[in-house]
Amino acid sequence: MKILALIALLGMIAYLIYSTIRAKEIPDSISDTAYINSPKAFAVFMGLLTTALTPVLLETASEPSKWAAFLTIVGLLMVHLTPKYKQENGAMHYTGGVLAGISSQVLVAVNTPAFLLSWLAYPALFLDKDNRVFWAELICAANTFGFIAKALV
């Protein structure tokens, strides 16, 4: 499990750094990297991320929070399946993103509620109006990976 979690984390960091360097700016959202790189590259990234995280989330979630882990996975899959969200299937993409974000934070709240304090930094990041969604997604990801790390130690 630790190896899968590490692969997911390092893969996400590498993909986002590559995308940011390629765009020469911070993307508006993680999904916008589909238009920085290519929809196919984004779909592969999201597919690998979801594949690596699925067993990790289901294994590390406490019994009362497994439903939130499952909904997080479903949300990530919805995003994965709709890389061209600006042209088609936008509603499914946005629904999946919101579902993954909210359910991941419910998962964190049930298992490691102190990690939610990271949201206190969001108002400062919110000053960057163009990238609000990107920073919210990173807080969700950091909280989720923090929960996973704590559960696996």
Q: Tally Cβ neighbours within 10 Å of residue 26.
A: 16
**What single-letter amino acid sits at 22?**
R
Q: Give the pLDDT confidence of 98-152 residue by residue, as tens digits.
A: 999 999 999 999 999 999 999 998 888 777 678 889 999 999 999 999 999 999 9
Residues 6+ apart with CB under 8 A from 77: 50, 96
pLDDT surpasses 80 at 60 = yes
**Under a CB-based contact definition with an 8 Å cutoff, are residues 80 and 73 in contact?**
no
Q: Give the pLDDT confidence of 9-47 residue by residue, as tens digits.
A: 999 999 999 999 999 999 999 999 999 999 999 999 999
Give residue 80's pLDDT band: very low, low, confident or very high (50, 70, 90): very high
Q: How far apart are CA 122 and CA 113, in angstroms?
A: 17
